[in-house]
Structure 1
Amino acid sequence: MDISSLLLTESEEQSVNLTSSWNFETTPETPQFPADIIYQILRNFQYCRSSLCKFLQINQTWCHISLIFLWNCPFSVSLKAKNSVLLIRTLLSFLSEQEKSELKLNLTCYESNISKNSTYNYLDYIRVFDLKHFRLSILHWISYLRNNNDDDFFSDSLIVELNKIYKDIPINYSTVNLASEIISNMLFRKCGNNGLQHLVIEYDDIITSNYVISKNIIYLNNDLPKLVNFDFHYKLEGNFDKNLLIDRIVEMFEIMTKSVKNLRWLEANIEHEEHRLPKIGKALVEFIEEQNNLEVLGINEFWMYEESEIYRRICKSQQKSLKHVRFYGMCNFKELIKGLSECKNLITLELLRISKYDSNIIPMNDELESKGLSIKNFYTCEVISFDAPEITNYFIQIINMSNKNLKTLTLTHVTPDIIKTLVKFCPNITHLSIYFTFYFDLIPDLLSVLLTSLPLEQFLLKIDNENSESTIYTQDYWNKIAKSIPDSVIHLGIDFKIEKNMLDMFLKEFVVQYAKKNNNLLKELGFLWDPKDFGFISHSNLEDAKKFIKIIGKVEPFNKPFYDIKLNIPHKKDHLLSSFLSCKKG
């Protein structure tokens, strides 16, 4: 069986050409590395399936270790229909005869004569399970069966395939649920001694959300004790029974609370027009309190405004382990800050989608006066900040309490008072992204005050000046901004409206001169647009800039943080490598 074809997207499939019969005889040119060295090499390619599939051909050791990474998360992407069918059929070959009979009994189009002829026990390598992509693969497979195993069902166009599948969805609801339940239960039971470590549940726009929280997830508590990472992103829609869906989510958290105790990463984001879902909030908080070593937490503020003790309970239960926190749509700043001040190892605070604020929650500075925050990264995005002095005050409070700890700052809400606070309390910022939506006439002066004393390595400036008065944006205006950039900056990004001739001058007279003066320290310059495409910069000035600046191109989106939170869940290398001989046939 061509294992590589099971795990590739369309573009990756085109770059790999493996035959079903492999020659594992090592050529004289092949380096002879110990297995643990090969393992370390391939870890660098663990997210590049096309490369891993090429490594399959080198020899048997490389093949085996490549499979460890390839099968770590077989449903990490949306596969083409053909690949989905092959993958599901491979997994079905590991079903017991009883499970095959049960599936045949309830799915008449299923042929249970698939024999297990695999060289390796792929189930032993599965550590990550993405329910959405798994169910889409099941839907591919069932649609294929209902088309009488006709290979014409497979199309070169993913769009055509999806159109065929959409037609089958109404008759496949119950079938998909049943097949998903049987196969996923089998997967979890047989995924090796180390068990499932990462579970992903996302809202699925093809198989409607009414079925995503199905009983095969709710009753999997006995198969999830090794779970380390749980991503739950869901959307409650108005065309379904809201109370039923809420009850299912609550039941899921309540049952997982009994067996899942060692999460290190929890992300629970539920979109709903009412925002406040206290039943879910209560179950979620109790689930969090049962965790022994939670490091990364991202959640909505589900609970009601008056339930202020929720923050204290969350933070107290994880005060020694919590390192990265992300809140969606949060508004009770005071209680949040009080709770986070108890977390002594906190590194990152992210506040996303801040659009409403409860004016009844009054700041009490005396409660926070003696407290501090250990955060090094403070990141805000999607802040609708007009006429919101309370948000300004709490941002100032967070910055003040972070003090010299703060190294990375991304703000989409900037005022003169916030700038003054940064200057006074935060001298160690190295990565700065700021987004001005007001105070356009003050920006050059504010930047001159803020930037000159900072040891900046990375600076992104965004100004929402598309509709503002253009008369203030003179050459002197931009010159002053350019001169405020400290000599330490290595990566510079700009995102604002500027006249073509002024941008050309800005690049030639200040950015290039800046690079020359600092011995080519500036390695990267990013624009909102591609300067080559729209003629914002003359060809000669652009070529001259390239002599001193290594990378000139488009700036990264503003809402992408400088830091990258990744929880490294290592493979159990010793177990997997030691099983190398035992997992082979013969």
Structure 2
Amino acid sequence: MSKLNKDVLYLILEEFQDDKKNLCSFLSVNKTWCEIIIPILWKNPWKYLKDEEKFLNVIISHLSMKSKDKLKSKGVNFIKNSYQKPSFNYISFCRHLNLNNLNEIINNIIIKRSEILIIQKVIIKLFINSNTKFTHLYLPQQFDYQIHLIPEAKRCFSELEFLSCNTRIKDDVLDGLKTLCESIKELEFFIEEENNNYGIVKLVEIPRRLLKIRLLTNKVFNDKSFCKILENSLIRHAFTTQHFKIIAEPITELLLSFKNLRVLELGGDSYIKWDCLKNLSLPFIQILRARRVPIQVLTSLIKNTSGTLIEIKINYISHDVAGNKRIIQTIYQKCPNLRFLLLLIRNNNIAELKNLLINCQHLEGLCILADNSQIYSFNESLLFNWNSLFNILVRSSPTSLFKFKFCFQDVPKMKYLNLFFYKWKSKHPMLLQTNLDKHFDLIKRYEEKGIIKKHDCVNTFEDFEWN
């Protein structure tokens, strides 16, 4: 196969990087395919991880006999079950070094504390070598290993683009990271309630062009003095920042400085008011994802946009019929270029969906969270009107719309689903995801007819990935 053809094949197969099942099935095609697919699978092996013990054995199999003997001399005997030297140098293909996952694997498999520390150091040195270059580095909360002192570290992390760490990071580890972070484009911080390291502000100052920032925590930020200093340090990157995620309301007016923001992700506890969003103007915002954010402030935020939004995802926030109507109206008035939408639809506002479909002619994917507030009502007229919704979708959907997700507790009646699929026959075959626990024979029949291209029964509706 020519070099050009091999490069083209790589680009094609790379499109399957989130589809491990298909990628693995291609391994047996021939040697060329295998040589292309292995680097794709091992670019970020942590996301495919299921069997921790097998994975650890594969990693250990990269050790030289001298290193294995040295471990045995220290009483580390679990490696007797490791595999023979692999045909590929899998570690050399890694671009993500996830020391969070690595620590979890070692702690889950190795019982003796004394062995754990030895194995951690050996494996870290195995990953940080002269043949590997990492773009992503994930550090665990309790991390005290100075990886910058490993001779190969500077070369290994010379193309580092992403860093994830805890804000309680130790000074000696932090000082070492500062020497590796000039090329960083994405920062992810896990902020603790107390005892945060203020020195992390110095790390924030190092990247030349920071594009993506994520501030995460398990609780509302209680360390207000630390958060204030951290947020003020991030303002220096306001011009370049295009993607920002935060799960607690900022202490400062940080959001006002992000005038070039393309992606905003918000989420946290339901009692956070998020008043900072009410007068916020983001002229270039394209993607808005919100969890547990009051519907009235989201409505205000969308009103202040200028038609650039292409994706809106609003979830995990209860709101009344009036609030639901207002946000639907705001979306179809302010978002003519919308391509993907996830939103709760109240029964009383199903008719508003028609206006949304008419005004948002670029819509490709629609995820509807059905109003379940009257699920236990004996009055059928109060139940979610699936027949009305399906009729509106058939009659008013733009030609671009063929990807659907329906989330419900009150399962649509079979006759309504049947009519919906039957009337869709002249349109683009749909990609369908539901949390259905019945009617599979009906769906299968329409798959065979080509009306449904693919159906997945899922329990999560967190993204807009349709395959």
Amino acid at match of 1:178: I
Tell me whether 1:297 sits opposite 2:209 in the alignment. no
What are the within-5 Å matches in structure 2 for residues 144-155 of structure 1? none
Tell me whether 1:252 sits opposite 2:173 in the alignment. yes
Task: State the 1:406 CA deviation.
Answer: 0.6
The answer to whether the Cα contact below 8 Å between 1:218 and 1:251 also exists between their aligned partners in 2 is no
Distance change (3 Å), C-alpha of 1:106 and 1:544: closer
What are the within-5 Å matches in structure 2 for residues 405-420 of structure 1? 405-412=308-315, 413=317, 415=323, 416-420=325-329
Deviations 1:199-256 (A, max 9, x none): 2345xxxxxx7xx513254756645333223345x7xxxxxxxxxxx64456534431
Distance change (3 Å), C-alpha of 1:530 and 1:403: farther
Unaligned runs of 5+ in 1: 1-32, 140-161, 203-208, 235-245, 386-390, 565-586
The answer to whether the Cα contact below 8 Å between 2:92 and 2:131 also exists between their aligned partners in 1 is yes
The answer to whether the Cα contact below 8 Å between 1:73 and 1:127 also exists between their aligned partners in 2 is yes
What are the within-5 Å matches in structure 2 for residues 1-400 of structure 1? 33-42=1-10, 44-45=12-13, 47=17, 48=20, 50-51=24-25, 53-54=27-28, 58=31, 68-69=39-40, 72=43, 77-79=49-51, 81=53, 84-93=56-65, 103=71, 106-107=74-75, 109=77, 124-135=92-103, 165=109, 169=111, 172-192=112-132, 195-201=133-139, 212-217=142-147, 222=154, 224-232=157-165, 247-249=168-170, 252-269=173-190, 276-277=193-194, 279-280=196-197, 282-300=198-216, 302=221, 304-305=223-224, 307-308=227-228, 310-311=230-231, 313-320=233-240, 322-327=241-246, 329-332=247-250, 335-341=253-259, 344=260, 346-357=261-272, 365=279, 368=280, 371-381=281-291, 383=292, 391-400=294-303
Cα distance in 2 for partners of 1:545, 1:126 equals 38
The answer to whether the Cα contact below 8 Å between 1:529 and 1:554 also exists between their aligned partners in 2 is no
The residue that corresponds to 2:350 in the other structure is: 444
Distance change (3 Å), C-alpha of 1:300 and 1:339: farther
Task: State the 1:380 CA deviation.
Answer: 1.7
Amino acid at match of 1:38: K
TM-score by length of 2: 0.76
The answer to whether the Cα contact below 8 Å between 1:292 and 1:318 also exists between their aligned partners in 2 is no
Q: 2:360 aligns with which of 443, 454, 474?
A: 454
Cα distance in 1 for partners of 2:415, 2:129 equals 65
Tell me whether 1:490 sits opposite 2:402 in the alignment. yes
- Paired residue secondary structure (1:196): coil
The answer to whether the Cα contact below 8 Å between 1:312 and 1:339 also exists between their aligned partners in 2 is no
Distance change (3 Å), C-alpha of 1:35 and 1:247: same
Distance change (3 Å), C-alpha of 1:62 and 1:68: same
- Paired residue secondary structure (1:260): coil
Cα distance in 2 for partners of 1:135, 1:218 equals 18
The answer to whether the Cα contact below 8 Å between 2:95 and 2:136 also exists between their aligned partners in 1 is yes
Cα distance in 2 for partners of 1:457, 1:86 equals 42
Q: 1:551 aligns with which of 428, 453, 456?
A: 453
Cα distance in 2 for partners of 1:472, 1:111 equals 64
The residue that corresponds to 1:580 in the other structure is: none
- Paired residue secondary structure (2:341): strand
Task: State the 1:348 CA deviation.
Answer: 1.9
The residue that corresponds to 1:426 in the other structure is: 335
Cα distance in 2 for partners of 1:82, 1:44 equals 29
Deviations 1:481-518 (A, max 9, x none): 33443321312232224466xx23323445532x24xx
- Paired residue secondary structure (1:375): coil
* Count of equivalent residues: 438
Distance change (3 Å), C-alpha of 1:64 and 1:495: closer
Cα distance in 1 for partners of 2:382, 2:444 equals 22
Distance change (3 Å), C-alpha of 1:120 and 1:137: same
Cα distance in 2 for partners of 1:287, 1:559 equals 35
Cα distance in 2 for partners of 1:550, 1:110 equals 50
Cα distance in 1 for partners of 2:124, 2:414 equals 58
Amino acid at match of 2:436: W
Distance change (3 Å), C-alpha of 1:173 and 1:491: same
Distance change (3 Å), C-alpha of 1:340 and 1:479: same
Amino acid at match of 1:324: H
Task: State the 1:432 CA deviation.
Answer: 1.1
Distance change (3 Å), C-alpha of 1:286 and 1:480: farther
Structure number with the bigger relative contact order (C-alpha 8 A, sep ≥ 6) is 1
Unaligned runs of 5+ in 2: none
Cα distance in 2 for partners of 1:119, 1:339 equals 51
The answer to whether the Cα contact below 8 Å between 1:74 and 1:126 also exists between their aligned partners in 2 is yes
Distance change (3 Å), C-alpha of 1:65 and 1:454: closer
